[in-house]
A = this chain, B = another copy of it.
Amino acid sequence: MAPKVNTQPPKGTRDFLPLDVRRREHVTGIIRRVYESFGFEPLETPTFERLDTLLGKYGEEGDQLLFKVLHRGEPLVHGIRDAAQYLSKPGSLIEGRSGETAPGAEKLLSDIGLRYDLTVPLARVIAEYQGKLPPIFKRYQIQPVWRADTPGKGRFREFYQCDVDVVGTASRLAEAEVIGAVGESLVKLGFESFEIRINHRRLLRALIEHAGIPVELEGAAIVAVDKLDKVERDGVDKELSLKGIADDARKKLLDIVAVDTPLSLDQLADRLAGHPGALAAIQDLRSIFELVAPSEARRFLTFTVSLARGLGYYTGAIFEIAVPDLSGSLGGGGRYDGLIGMFSGKEVPATGFSLGLERILVVMEERKMFPAALSGVDLLIGVTDGTVERDAIGLAAKLRREGLRVDVLMKPDKPGLIRKAADERKVPFAVWFGAAHGGRAGIWSASTPGDKTVAFEEIAAAIRG
């Protein structure tokens, strides 16, 4: 007897059984084909990166969510001793908060960590392969990332991102292409009502300045506005107040970003006539709307003055996918001209959009958006007599050459049980024969009642209808 062991997947991760894999591949296949049709090229990077590459890019909270890989051998022995010494120093552990003081020790025990997103690896690749990549690099990347977050509904420790980015140009065509690719992907997946919300970081900053909020509180104000969907006007007001922002400044800001009928771009242009930064941002947004106009995505693109995006690194237009009756988004992105250059030391303009695979799958499952037939097998072959197994393999080989996906049952059975096996596994056809087959088989179809007998040569045609 084997010992009783825990055979569940580790916390926050999942096993994908055949139907799960097929659904995931249905979605990633469509996204991949659309991204390719827009001329984006595939990139894949390693599962782990140097901690030097990862640390300090995602804020303090992000650093703590990195999965770090343990040293081995001698470096581990030294690391343990140094880490123990580090922990014994006074002040290295704050009462009751020992976890938060571990980062100093972690660096002594690890120098690589699992990929946290697909953007920092892209920045590393751009720095490493200068000259080998085209000066304007349109890349997509569909790979898992890992975060040691508390797992919850739709939140995992291992999950996939589907990123599309244009690196190396400040042209608004880049925004038009990433928005076009993401919009077309969602349409092709079957989404009918969604919004691609768009706003601009420089417009938001102008509004914050216009409201009289001091520049040093700009970041905090953006983080607060980002929560509008979740906590509504009162919640944002409270957070802004806690940050020390005065009553009239809060009101002035919220009267623009948190009202029922939000201002149009034209109205904002009037209101902010004295802010050259705001006007440039508005002009930027107008160009993007114009360039997206010929695409499928245009129907879904909505200027949303309250859109803020939490991340610090955005510098221009920002985007987010909103679906009715779903809190949170299916994806987001924006222009981030300062990030890609961090490893090479020269500024490289870039803009990108990321779709979150797991949330797309949750919504598609809830709304029954998957095609009914995602089974992998077209036909099950069974024998009623063990002596003709070789004939079954021969028939299977012939039908596979004709392009069918064919499974052969591994033991002889009665016709009724062969039909039942096909039915249970949702395989649309079954055939069976015994020792005296004479080149003919019984055939069952899930869609037509009653069995028939057909010659081996007629099976492919019978299945193709």
- A contact set with B: CB distance below 8 Å: 1-2, 4-10, 13-18, 20-22, 24-25, 36-50, 52-53, 64, 67-70, 72-74, 76-77, 80-81, 83-84, 87, 93, 98-102, 105-106, 109-110, 112, 114, 124-125, 127-129, 132-134, 136, 138-139, 144, 146, 148, 158, 166, 169, 171, 173-174, 176-177, 180, 184, 290-296, 341-345, 376-377, 380, 389-390, 392-394, 396-398, 400, 403-411, 424-425
Contacts and interface: CB of A to CB of B under 8 A. Distances in A.
B408 A132 contact: no
Nearest to A115: B47
B93 A77 contact: yes
Nearest to A381: B39
A43 B18 contact: yes
**Oligomer: number of copies:** 2
Given A110-B70, A136-B410, A98 B84 contact: no
26 contacts: A5-B52, A5-B343, A6-B50, A7-B127, A7-B343, A7-B344, A9-B49, A10-B46, A13-B47, A15-B46, A17-B125, A17-B133, A38-B407, A48-B67, A48-B158, A68-B70, A69-B70, A76-B105, A80-B80, A109-B109, A169-B411, A171-B410, A173-B393, A180-B397, A184-B400, A293-B394
Given A37-B405, A408-B173, A291 B52 contact: no
Contacts of A377: 39, 41
Nearest 3 pairs of A and B residues by beta carbon: A39-B407, A73-B99, A294-B394
Contacts of A53: 5, 7
Given A69-B70, A77-B93, A411 B376 contact: no
Given A38-B407, A294-B394, 5 more contacts: A10-B50, A18-B139, A47-B114, A80-B80, A292-B393
A173 B387 CA distance: 12
A296 to B, nearest CB: 7
A83 B408 CA distance: 53
A180 to B, nearest CB: 7
Contact of A39 (B48, B403, B405): B405
A67 B113 CA distance: 11
A7 B295 contact: no
A291 B138 CA distance: 49
Given A39-B376, A74-B99, A294-B390, A44 B15 contact: yes
